Structure 1
Amino acid sequence: MWMTVGEQRFAITLADATAAQSLAALAPLTLEMSDLHRNEKYATLPRALPVQASRPGTIRNGDLMLYGKDTLVVFYKDFNSTYAYTRLGHVNDTSKLAQALGQGTVQVTFSYD
């Protein structure tokens, strides 16, 4: 799967999970993603996905997660967390991810082409 932010395109490896397959079924999908805590972008999905949440402890730059049943989150910094998420996948090359996501709200497209 691909995630496009402006002119930057990032390959995503989806997790082997029902929630990740459900996200893939929504593609192509364009979301306005808001910033939270200067380490993540989030947006509400058009429908709920299956939940299999766990507490990962450490969040990694590039993690693609589901918070609750319908909030998609892209993390762009490493940090520790006590929150529970359903793992959806990971951005393969995060070297320019934080720069592409920038500050504030950003439009992000998830697709297969």
Structure 2
Amino acid sequence: MITLKLAVRNGTQHPATSMSERRLSGGLHGLGLLLCLLTSGACEARQQSASVPFALAPVAASASLRPEESRMWMVVGERRFVVILSDNVTGHAFAKILPLTLDMAELNGNEKHADLQNALPAYASRMEMISNGDLLLYGSKTLVVFYKAFTSPYSYSNVGRVANPDGLAHALGEHGVRVQFLKCK
């Protein structure tokens, strides 16, 4: 159990930060980073042996994704990106249609998009801020991969997010591109 001490300075309360508390905070930050890397590594290890934080819509507790189902690969040319699927009905439905290969068209210098063969459950909401690596559904059939951050007045349903989008814009390029979405097993 961590106890937060408060120190009074100039009549206001501030968290006391002793050397041991700063070490603990740094250690917790490092532990979180390590867990993120291990999660991505586990996905990669399973994928090699086989040779090859979103919740906008309400979901029944029994419908939650199992850890092995919450990750997938997005392959663009020679680059592979781990995608963390959203734990909502849209993310669940997308996971069920994998593997999937799409020829995605360029739009606005910030996204690639393609229409899916069948509609997915959509619970769209206004995003306001789109981030590099967001995997979203526009309407009920258009899958969109964003590779630049910007503000948006449009509504989307969350599908997932690229865990580490470094190099995503370069991999996707300036024109249309073929993208594979694969189960991470």
Q: TM-score higher than 0.5 here?
A: yes
Unaligned runs of 5+ in 2: 1-71
Higher helix share: 2
Establish whether residue 99 from structure 1 lines up as the match of residue 162 from structure 2.
Answer: no
- Helix, strand or coil for the counterpart of 2:127? coil
**Counterpart selection for 1:32 from 100, 103, 109:** 103
Structure 1 stretches of 5 or more lacking a match?
none
The amino acid of 2:181's aligned partner reads: F
Larger Rg: 2
Which residue pairs with 2:10 in the alignment? none
Cα distance in 2 for partners of 1:103, 1:47 equals: 27
Report sequence identity in percent. Answer: 50
Q: Deviations over 1:36-92 (max 9, x none)?
A: 000000000110000100001000000000000000000000000000000111001
* Structure 2 counterpart of 1:89: 160
Deviating beyond 6 angstroms after TM superposition, the runs of 4 or more aligned structure 1 residues are: none
1:55 alignment partner in structure 2? 126
Q: What is the aligned counterpart of 2:151 among 80, 94, 97?
A: 80
**In 2, Cα distance between equivalents of 1:45 and 1:20:** 14
Output the TM-score relative to the length of structure 2.
0.60
RMSD: 0.6
**Matched residue, 2:77:** 6
- From 7, 11, 16, the equivalent of 2:87 is 16
Aligned partners of 1:95 and 1:4: how far apart in 2? 14
More strand by share: 1
